[in-house]
Amino acid sequence: MARRGGDGRLSHELLPGEKGPQDACGVFGVWAPGEEVAKLTYFGLYALQHRGQESAGIATGNGKQILVYKDMGLVSQVFDEAALSALTGHLAVGHCRYSTTGGSTWENAQPTLGDTKTGTIALAHNGNLTNSAQLMHVAENEYDAARQGEIKRGNTTDTAVVTALFSGIDKGTLWDAALEILPQLEGAFCLTFMDEHTLYAARDPHGVRPLVLGRLERGWVVASETAALDIVGASYVREVEPGELIAIDENGLRTAKYAKAQPAGCVFEYVYLARPDTSIAGRSVHESRVEMGRQLAREFPVDADLVMPTPESGTPAAIGYAQESGIPYGQGLTKNAYVGRTFISPSQTLRQLGIRLKLNPLKHVIQGKRLVVIDDSIVRGNTQRALVRMLREAGAAEVHIRISSPPVKWPCYYGIDFASRAELIANGLNTEEICATLGADSLGYISLDGMIQSTAQEPENLCSACFTGTYPIELPDPSRRGKFVLEGPGEALDAVDGLKTLNASAGGGSALSHP
């Protein structure tokens, strides 16, 4: 079954039109006969909500059919008791989405569905493929698969292309098809997928995005982060290895390496993307962020009266900065917990309030103080500029900005939607010039080495392309990059010719089920 309806997205915007680094997606999978797998998936996705707030979906299998329920909005908005009760079975996959290939539309919500020789596939994807256009061409011309299923229904994501590839394999099992298809995928991908009987999980050879395996008393779980295992009561077993394919069914767990591992985990997961209560590669994300704050204090000390975070992402690093510097830690801002994304454009009179919709200063804490303000990153700089102005209006004597990541100068093609390179403030200005535009008394970014050391990982095992411009996975021609690469004209996109007609005729409350 599927549902389409209202949009209840959240974002990290603090100012209208000021988009920060947007998260990747969250994936979850469970094989657990006798358990309420849809509810387990719901709570798993709830724990992963920070990774994507545009749409959410769950697919369940009962050995005979697959049911899918998905919609635009937050996990808590998409699902209710009735919807979850209808999703019966012994295995499930789930997804919460932030769009990195394909627009934010109902048609692009996941999991995707496709017919295969042996049954149905439901697939969820975290990451971003760099050869989507090439894969579309393969799906159309070698497998003749792109003119059916999700793509025909108007899905313009790289996930739909992968699903089409599975639909085009006309021999062997889903396991055999995966071993043929996975080596063709380039870029970042963590996949959870299933047929009516078996749960599968796969991770790209570079392990750009996290994916972990957990154990239930009566089954298994795979999830984007360890925090999701904690929420559903699963014990952590291990990470899904880069280049690994896993299958789980009544015969247990089996695994295969379909490609040689070349680790390049995203360092920005440690800086911002992952939950602080998650562990990646054996390292606590919270402790990494606290250590980044300590390192910032060592690299950029300053005489001040108070260390304060930009809620919530700057909090662990602010704690570390205070610990190392000896400057007291305090909350100088209060956050409106109920403000997500506002769709009401403020009038010119109200526009100057901007950031105050979400943050407001505690004047009695700030007045007359020399402040060290900690944040995780600067993208365009508009939010920090408004924040500095607001703190000065509240009576701050000095405002010193400290950032727990190096200057972001390059876009990400592996699952994070930064601003374009032309919009990145650090691409055209040096630190002193950025400081001047923000109106701060000083500005300090953690060094690349300091940030990496804080993760306790080997530098060669991390991707830091958004800071260095050195991409560990080869990029396609610029014309074949970007969120809407599968939505433009070209022979590879003939399959979506009927998109407008199909969208216009689609109605609410339709059911998607495959017997």
Q: Rounded distance, CA 372 to CA 402, Å? A: 7
Question: Tokens in use for 217?
Answer: 């008393």
Q: Rounded distance, CA 515 to CA 513, Å? A: 7
Instruction: Select which of 25, 190, 435, 466 is catalytic.
Output: 25
Where b means 16+ CB within 10 Å and e means fewer, 202-217 reads bbbbbbbbbbbbbebe
Q: Rounded distance, CA 473 to CA 460, Å? A: 13
Secondary structure class of 410 (helix, strand, coil): coil
Q: Please report, for residues 292, 308, 389, 429, 483, the alpha-carbon distance to residue 327 in angstroms, rounded to integers and kept in the order given.
A: 16, 10, 23, 30, 43
To which residue do tokens 């306790």 refer? 456
25 has catalytic annotation: yes
Q: Please report, for residues 72, 124, 204, 277, 370, the alpha-carbon distance to residue 341 in angstroms, rounded to integers and kept in the order given.
A: 14, 25, 33, 25, 31
Cβ count near 148 (within 10 Å):
16
Where is 444: in which H helix or E strand? strand 442-445
Cβ count near 483 (within 10 Å):
16
Rg (C-alpha) for the chain, rounded Å, is 23
List of residues 6+ apart from 423 with CB closer than 8 A: 379, 380
To which residue do tokens 């899918």 refer? 68
Q: Rounded distance, CA 495 to CA 153, Å? A: 10
Query: Residue 475 carries which DSSP code?
Result: -
Residue type, 241: E
Report phi then psi at 356, rounded to 5: -70, -15
Q: Which residues are catalytic?
A: 25
